[in-house]
Amino acid sequence: MADYSLGLKCKLCGKLYEKQPINFCTDDFGPLEVVYDYAAIRRNISREKILARPRSMWRYRELLPIAGEPTVGPQVGCTPLIRANRLAEELGVKTLWIKNDAVNFPTLSFKDRVVSVALSKAVEFGFEIVGCASTGNLANSVAANAAQAGLEAYIFVPSDLEQAKILGTSVFGANVIGVNGTYDEVNRLCTQVAFKYKWGFVNINLRPFYAEGSKTMGYEIAEDLGWRFPQHVVAPMAGGSLIGKIHKAFTEMYEVGLVDTPVTTRMYGAQAAGCNPISDCVKSNRDRHKPIRKPNTICKSLAIGDPADGAFSSKLIQHTGGWAEDVSDDEIVECMLLLARTEGIFAETAGGTTVAVARKLIEQGRIPRDEEIVLCITGNGLKTQDCLREAVEKPANIKPSLEAFDAIYSGEPVLV
């Protein structure tokens, strides 16, 4: 199949670059983004074509920047969009959907989408060693997908990360390097390593391609709603890329004729109060975020104190008429339980953050109660169990006898 991506373009000055493993403009250090031939895509894509393909994110192949067929992660994506009636009732809204990437394949987070594109591109560029800087989910995904692709992986993480996320990386045979520092310090180290060793770092020199994978979350939401856009989308923000890419996905679907009406969706960003550079930027109407030197929250997957896409996501939120908020660790835990107990979805801390921020925005009147809302759940609660140990009831331990059960059960028996 044809590669409809044309090259890379600086988001600041517009300078064009050929397709290559580079992530910033050599004139002004602005981030680079993939550009496409949308007119050609429009002629070659249709709803029928997409629906006839297997249910994976690669059914949107024309809008992803690789040559030929994907070589890594062909089964990623197409996670469920769930009508969340019980949570809607709790939040006091009419129509609520959950896009559930907590069950994405293979590593239970939305990162499988970006990694599938980045590593397919890494193979195309001829890299044999790949790596990433990660708050955990990306680490799991790079390690698993690299194992499947036969690539060697070096994964750099803050050394205080949740044990489940470290174990869930090492299990795939990746070289895991714990760095005594914040995520931003890990990221900077990786930039230097990428320069020195010329490896394919998915979120550094492969970043323009990598980031495009996030768009598939948006395509799938619109497809599952019957080829239309929701009125409101709430997404978690760490680096600030996902929220922009979901919106870009909607814009592209209109541009290439997959959806008939223009995008009017309002985008809302969710952060933890202990690391809120982007929501603070939106709320205080600043041009640029103020970096947070030492993030302090249980929501480690969103704990990026100096998000490079911060200014872009903040502008996008304001441009669409949305808003951003941040919530305390207690609210995050409370909403992880709320989501689990109303919809049967065990999301990680970032999911609790998204639900809690949605609740806050609804209570503030920023999201109307009678319009359609989609919440993006991006990771799985099995990876962040530590923060719930105090919050959930301990099981009752009893002897294997009916008397012992009768003693702890307060309901009336049917047979006496």
Residues that bind other proteins (CB under 8 A): 12, 22-24, 26-31, 111, 114, 132-135, 137-138, 183-185, 187-188, 190-192, 195, 202-204, 207, 211, 238-241, 288, 291, 293, 304, 306-309, 311
What strand order describes the sheet that includes 81-83?
81-83, 95-100, 372-377, 232-236, 266-272, 324-327
Residue 289 beta carbon to other proteins: minimum distance, rounded to whole angstroms: 10
- For helices 241-255 and 215-224, the axis angle rounded to 10 degrees is 50
Residue with Cβ nearer other proteins (55 or 198):
198
Conformation bin of residue 183: beta by default, left when phi > 0, alpha when psi is -120 to 50: alpha
Q: How far is the C-alpha of 304 from the C-alpha of 293, rounded, in Å? A: 9
Residue 54 beta carbon to other proteins: minimum distance, rounded to whole angstroms: 26
Residue 152 beta carbon to other proteins: minimum distance, rounded to whole angstroms: 19
Residue 61 beta carbon to other proteins: minimum distance, rounded to whole angstroms: 23
3-class state of residue 74 by DSSP = coil
Residue with Cβ nearer other proteins (190 or 282):
190
Residue 224 beta carbon to other proteins: minimum distance, rounded to whole angstroms: 25
- For helices 349-363 and 329-343, the axis angle rounded to 10 degrees is 90
Q: Please, what's the b/e burial string for 192-218 (b: 16 or more CB within 10 A of its CB; e: otherwise)?
A: ebbeeeebbbbbbbbbbbbbbbbbbbb
Q: Is 267 in contact with 321 (CB distance < 8 Å)?
A: no
Residue with Cβ nearer other proteins (208 or 218):
208
Residue 22 beta carbon to other proteins: minimum distance, rounded to whole angstroms: 8
Two tokens at 295? Answer: 């993030």
Residue with Cβ nearer other proteins (140 or 256):
140
- Among 100, 171, 166, smallest CA distance to 383 is for 166
Residue with Cβ nearer other proteins (202 or 317):
202
Residue with Cβ nearer other proteins (285 or 410):
285
Q: How far is the C-alpha of 220 from the C-alpha of 79, rounded, in Å? A: 8
Residue 78 beta carbon to other proteins: minimum distance, rounded to whole angstroms: 21
- For helices 137-149 and 111-125, the axis angle rounded to 10 degrees is 40
Residue with Cβ nearer other proteins (241 or 297):
241
Residue 395 per-residue DSSP state: P
